[in-house]
Amino acid sequence: MKKGDLFVISLGGSILVPNGGVDLDFLKGFARLIKSRITKGDRFVIVVGGGSTARFYQRAARAVGRLADEDVDWLGIHATRLNAHLLRSVFREQALHRVIKDPREPLNWNKSLLIAAGWKPGWSTDYVAVRLAKRFAARQVINLSNVSVVYDKDPNAHADARPINQIKWTEFCRLVGSKWIPGMNVPFDPIASKAASKWRMQAVIANGRDLKNLQKIFNGQKFVGTVIS
């Protein structure tokens, strides 16, 4: 098998597990695409978020009593690990046999795919993806969510919001702030953004449901999305 490229993907849990449960159509299509790239020699690191699984448990806990930020994070982390085990099961033949829960842990990566999940309170799966990209000398993280591009302000609240195709980390960090809040909804989390900026890494923000567009990203072709550098 010829040596291909290494892609690091931060897969938003809302893509895999939207409000109606696991999106089987997406999962089947995503699996076909990744497996087809692996047969060409490509390797992947996929870090998956918690999606509606995390929100379901966080809402339930809040409904009963006051919830500490640390516990909000832990509920989300365990949801990411359940989602990661789902992916590892789907990619059983291609992936390392265990889910990575700590981006620093020793491992013998002898497969084409590495599946990772949440680490510890205070860090999102975006940050885990950046840490693993740094570890394996990847210069780019592909962030897949239900957002097609980054806007200069919330398009749901501002009719004049403008899409951004390219943006520098300094400007992007001004948009998302500097503090991680458990459960926050931003295109790329503030702590991960600071780390990616420090390590001179690039992030691609794209809609994960558009698998044809994702194929273009893999191929280095023109795609719909935002590049942060």
Q: Tens of pLDDT along 28-82?
A: 999 999 999 999 999 999 999 998 999 899 889 989 988 888 998 899 999 999 9
Q: Whole domain around residue 81: which residue ranges?
A: 6-228
Asked whether residue 31 is assigned to any structural domain, the reply reads: yes
Asked whether residue 27 is assigned to any structural domain, the reply reads: yes
Q: If we measure between CA atoms, which residue out of 219, 226, 229 comes closest to residue 42?
A: 219
Asked whether residue 12 is assigned to any structural domain, the reply reads: yes
Asked whether residue 223 is assigned to any structural domain, the reply reads: yes
- Which of these ranges, 127-136, 156-165, 205-214, has the smallest mean pLDDT? 156-165
* Distance from the Cα of residue 229 to its chain's centroid: 17
Query: Residue 183: its pLDDT value, please?
Result: 61
55 near 183, Cβ under 8 Å? yes
Asked whether residue 20 is assigned to any structural domain, the reply reads: yes
Residue 136 has pLDDT above 70, yes or no: yes
Query: Residue 6: its pLDDT value, please?
Result: 97
Tokens of 73: 């994070």
Q: How confident is the model at residue 2 (pLDDT cuts 50, 70, 90)?
A: very low
Query: Residue 1: its pLDDT value, please?
Result: 36
Q: What is the DSSP string of the chain?
A: -----EEEEEE-HHHHS-TTS--HHHHHHHHHHHHHHHTTT-EEEEEE--HHHHHHHHHHHHHHS---HHHHHHHHHHHHHHHHHHHHHHTTTTB-SS-B--TTS-----SSEEEE---STT--HHHHHHHHHHHTT--EEEEEES-SSEESS-TTT-TT--EESEE-HHHHHHHH-S---TT---SS-HHHHHHHHHTT-EEEEEETT-HHHHHHHHHT---SSEEE-
Asked whether residue 30 is assigned to any structural domain, the reply reads: yes
81 near 44, Cβ under 8 Å? no
67 near 58, Cβ under 8 Å? yes
User: What is the β-pairing status of strands 113-116 and 226-228?
Assistant: unpaired
Mean pLDDT for the stretch of residues 204-216: 97
Q: Over the stretch 158-193, which tens digit does the pLDDT of each residue have?
A: 888 899 999 999 999 888 877 777 666 778 889 999
Q: Over the stretch 84-113, which tens digit does the pLDDT of each residue have?
A: 999 999 999 999 999 999 999 999 899 999
C-alpha span between 78 and 114 (Å, rounded):
18
How many domains, the chain? 1
What is the Cα Rg of the chain in Å? 17
Asked whether residue 1 is assigned to any structural domain, the reply reads: no
CATH of the domain at 44: 3.40.1160.10
Indicate if the alpha-carbon torsion angle 194, 4, 211, 86 is positive or negative: negative
Asked whether residue 15 is assigned to any structural domain, the reply reads: yes
Query: Residue 60: its pLDDT value, please?
Result: 92
